[in-house]
Amino acid sequence: MTKINRRTLLKWGGLLTVSAMAPAVWSKSGAKQYEYTGAASISSHFLHGVASGDPTVNSAIIWTRVTTEEAAPLVYWEVALDDSFEQVVSTGYTQTDESKDFTVKLDVTELNFGRDYVYRFKYRDQSSPVGRLKLVPQSNTDIPFLKFIVTSCSHFEHGEFVGYRDMVEREQNIDAVIHLGDYSYASSNSGDYRKFSHSDFKFDRESFRARYSEIRKDAFLQQAHQMHTWMVIWDDGDLRNGVWREGPAIDGADFNEAMDIAMETFFLWMPIRYIAPKRVWRSAPYGDLADIFFMDMCFYDRDEPINNMPDNLSKRQPVFEQYDFPGRSIIGQEQASWFEQALRTSTARWRIVCSGAPVFEWWDNYSPSAWRAYPQSHKWLLELFSELDNNIVVLSGGLHKAMAAGLALDPFASDYNAGRDNVAVEITAPSLTRGDGGALWYEIADNRSTEKALKKNPHMKFRKGNRAGYLITKFEADQFVGRWRLYEDVRKVNGPKADTYGDIVSEYGKSKIKFVD
C-alpha cells in the first residue's frame, strides 16, 4: 500500500481546493460588485481559458489561470444563472501565486441540480471567457438519459484537436466529457506533426508546467473545456511512460520527486476535486440512472508490468505463470477494497467503470498496461462482475482503437455463449489524435486486421484501429448505446468531417452487445 507521511501531507495540502458557498439567488444589484480603477492592461490575462469539472448534485470545480507579473494576484469570480450575469448566485475573491502556477481553482457549493450555470473570472480590467457547468442529477429525479463524451490519448504533437472542436459544434445535451488519461505526455518531442516549444523535457517542475501551459492555449481544447463539464483521470503518459509504483527509473531525476511534481501539476491544471495525495480513483453518482467509478491502473500501488510478452495468447500463459507472483496487482489492495465495496453497494440502474486500460483480451495482442497483463487482478475483476447484476459497462482508453466486446471469464472457451457467459460489456475510446493520416493502404490493412480479429475473438463485435476520434455514450433505462466520431486525418484543421461508426447497443440486464450499422 502507498504510504503517506507527514511531509507528503503538508506538500499536497497546498492543492486543497478553495470551497465557495453559494447563497440564494440574488439580482446583480444585490451582489458584490467588481471594481477596478487601475491602468488598462496591455496584454491578455486569461490565455488558458476556463474549465469546470467533478460535478455533484450541488457543487462543481471551476478553474482558470491568470497570466500576470503580479506576485500574488487577487482574482474575482462569479457564478450565475444567465449569460448576462444578472442573476448571480455566488461570487467572491481568491488569491493565487507561483506555488500554484497562478492557477485558480474553486469548489463552488450549494448550487441546485436542474439549473444551468455560467461562470467567469475577472482580473484587473479583463474578464475571462464565460464557461458553462452542468451538475449531476439527484436521486428520485426522472431523467430520460445520460450522455457522455469519452476521450483519451490526446497527444498534442500528433495532430490537431479537431475532436475537441466537434465536441462543441456537433454534440448536444452532453452531461460531461470523460477523459480517460494521457491528456498530456511527459516526454521530449516525439510527434511528426507539431512540436512543443519547450522540447527538452526533464521531469522537473518547469517542464511539466510548460507542457500544460502550451496545451491549454489550444483554441479547440479551450472551447471544449469552456462549454462542457469534465471528469478526468491520469494515465502513464501524464506521469511517465510505463510508470508503476516504484519506477521505471528516470535518467537525471529522482523518480519519487518527479512523480510528485507530475501529480502536483495535474491537480493544479485539471478541474478535478482533490481527495487525497496521489489519488484520482473516485466515484460519481448520477442520480438513480448511473454510478460512475473512476480507476487508477497506472500508478497507485501498481506492481511492475511484464514487458516483451508474446502476442500469441497460447504462448503467453506460461510466461504469466512464471512471473505473476502471488498478490501482484494492477491497482493495489486499498483501491481494490474501495472499488469492490462501492460497486457492490451501488443501487443505480447502470454501473459505469472508467478504466485507462482495457479489461478484455484478444488474440494477437498484448499490452503490459492492460488488466489481462495482471492475471490475478483480471480474474478478480471479472469474478466480481459475475456476482452482480448484468448492468456493468466498462469505458476504457489507452488502446488508440475503437473497439467493443463482451466480458467473460473465458471468451475463448469452445462453448462460449455471449448471452450466457458475458458478465459485462466494454467499449473503448480511441486516441483523439493518433490516427494514420488517412492513407488508403492503412485503411485496407486495418480492414484486414479487423476481419481477422472478429473471426478469432467471438466476444468482439467492433474494431476500427486506424482512425483517431472520440466516443459518445448514451445511457437510458432500458439500453446503453455507443457510437464513435472517427477522422480520416486529424492533421488537417479543415480536413474531412468525422465519420460516425455505430451504434453499439446493449440492453439492460443482458451484458450482450450488438452492432447496429
* Tens-place pLDDT, residues 276-323: 889 999 999 999 999 999 999 988 899 999 888 888 888 887 888 777
Which cell numbers in the block locate residue 170? Answer: 456537433
- What is the per-residue pLDDT for 29? 39
Distances (CA, A) of 409 to 333, 340, 384, 425, 497: 21, 17, 11, 12, 39
Site of grid cell 491578455:
44
The full length of the chain comes to 517
- What is the per-residue pLDDT for 75? 97
CATH class of 18-135: mainly beta
Q: Please tell me the pTM assigned to this model.
A: 0.94
Separation of alpha carbons 378 and 118, rounded Å:
42
Distances (CA, A) of 390 to 162, 313, 424: 36, 27, 6
Beta bridge partners of 335: none
| DSSP reduced 3-state for 21 | strand
Separation of alpha carbons 50 and 265, rounded Å:
16
Amino acid at 502: G
- What is the per-residue pLDDT for 249? 93
- What is the per-residue pLDDT for 443? 84
Separation of alpha carbons 177 and 43, rounded Å:
31
The CATH code that applies to domain 136-515 is 3.60.21.70
Separation of alpha carbons 51 and 84, rounded Å:
19
What is the residue extent of each domain of the chain? 18-135, 136-515
Task: Show the CA angle centred on residue 456, arms to residues 451 and 458, nearest 5°.
Answer: 100
349 C-beta neighbours (distance < 10 Å), count: 20
Distances (CA, A) of 417 to 214, 451, 479, 511: 49, 20, 20, 11
Contact 280, 179 (CB under 8 A): no
Contact 407, 494 (CB under 8 A): no
- What is the per-residue pLDDT for 501? 95
Q: Which residues of the chain have pLDDT under 50?
A: 1-10, 12, 22-30
Phi then psi for residue 208, to 5 deg, are: -60, -45
Q: Which residues contact 225 (CB under 8 A, 6 or more apart)?
A: 49, 50, 51, 52, 131, 271
- What is the per-residue pLDDT for 18? 62
